Structure 1
Amino acid sequence: MAKFNFYLNFKENTEEAFNFYKSVFGGEFETLQRFGDTPHAGDVPAEHHDKIMHVSLPLPGGGVLMGTDDLGVMGRPFILGNNISLSIGADSEAEADQLFGGLSEGATITMPLQKTFWGAYFGMLTDRFGIQWMVNYDYPQA
């Protein structure tokens, strides 16, 4: 069964925000990856290499709070209010396809489901009601 998580976009202060959330909720970051550490670092201006590409903080009681520094590279400008997405963690590629396909009816596809450099099958869309969704299946680690 799919797991639902929370994905937050920030205007270049993700690290500050997540250190705050960590102080409130406790725990440790599961992932912290900077734009400069990705295979696509050359596509990002050097002044943004230290910004957060992805961070995840497991929450007490389940769920994961995730985030990124929104550099405006996903085809939409950062606007306070469009900075949250619902993220679904699927249990298989087939489940990801089924969920993404269902949500895609009348939607705007931001990123089609595809294999990614971080070892996942991932896609993003805005549904016909204006809600932003991320569908993700993490491949088993070798």
Structure 2
Amino acid sequence: MKGQVTPYLTFNGNAREAIDFYANTFQAEIQGIQTFGEADFPTPPEAAEKIMHARFGKGDFVIMVSDSFLGQRVESGNQISLALTLETEQEIQSIYDTLRQDGTVLMELQDTFWNSKFAKVQDRFGVIWDLDYPKA
């Protein structure tokens, strides 16, 4: 298989907050947001403003996001992490500092034996990020 895997994150009603947080953290552009109320199918009024589908990105980095539909509960867990390779030490430091705010550091940002600067952070939404800056 050739190509990029696009992570799709689902939230319990706070997708709009997550989109703003992540777009700001990664200095990415919000490329589109559609609510359940804008969709062409019957939607209960309490779900009308929830995010049915959104996408944001920067270059090849793309993430898609949605809220769960009514009655479908999403549980945060450690079954997935998102690996992100960064281009500069300044970039990894900035993203690390932002993600750890109100989150949990699983591995401090540090130089590693595999010749990278690396950190593992579970952000305030429960998403786990593997941040890697390969050294030359």
CA distance in 2, matches of 1:10, 1:82: 15
Aligned to 2:104: none
Aligned to 2:25: 24
User: Secondary structure at 2:19's aligned position in 1?
Assistant: helix
RMSD: 2.6
Change (3 A) 1:69 1:47: same
Change (3 A) 1:55 1:84: farther
CA distance in 2, matches of 1:57, 1:85: 18
Q: CA deviation at 1:59?
A: 3.4
Kindly indicate whether the alpha-carbon contact (under 8 Å) linking 2:29 and 2:58 is maintained by their aligned counterparts in 1: no
Aligned to 2:56: 57
Kindly indicate whether the alpha-carbon contact (under 8 Å) linking 1:14 and 1:68 is maintained by their aligned counterparts in 2: yes
CA distance in 2, matches of 1:72, 1:48: 7
CA distance in 1, matches of 2:23, 2:38: 22
CA distance in 2, matches of 1:20, 1:78: 19
Q: CA deviation at 1:22?
A: 1.1
Q: CA deviation at 1:79?
A: 1.9
- Residue 38 of structure 1 aligns to which amino acid in structure 2? A
User: Secondary structure at 1:71's aligned position in 2?
Assistant: coil
Aligned length: 81
CA distance in 1, matches of 2:38, 2:78: 26
Change (3 A) 1:13 1:25: same
Any stretches of 5+ residues in structure 2 without a counterpart? 83-136
Q: CA deviation at 1:31?
A: 1.4
Q: With CA pairs under 8 Å and 6+ residues apart, which has the higher RCO, 1 or 2?
A: 1
- Residue 74 of structure 2 aligns to which amino acid in structure 1? F
Change (3 A) 1:15 1:21: same
> What is the TM-score normalised by the length of structure 2?
0.51
Q: CA deviation at 1:71?
A: 1.9
Aligned to 1:67: 65
Any stretches of 5+ residues in structure 1 without a counterpart? 87-142
> What is the TM-score normalised by the length of structure 1?
0.49
Change (3 A) 1:56 1:83: farther
Sequence identity (%): 33
**Higher radius of gyration, 1 or 2:** 2
1:1-142 alignment runs, 5 A limit: 1-40=2-41, 42=42, 44-60=43-59, 62-72=60-70, 77-81=73-77
Q: CA deviation at 1:14?
A: 0.2
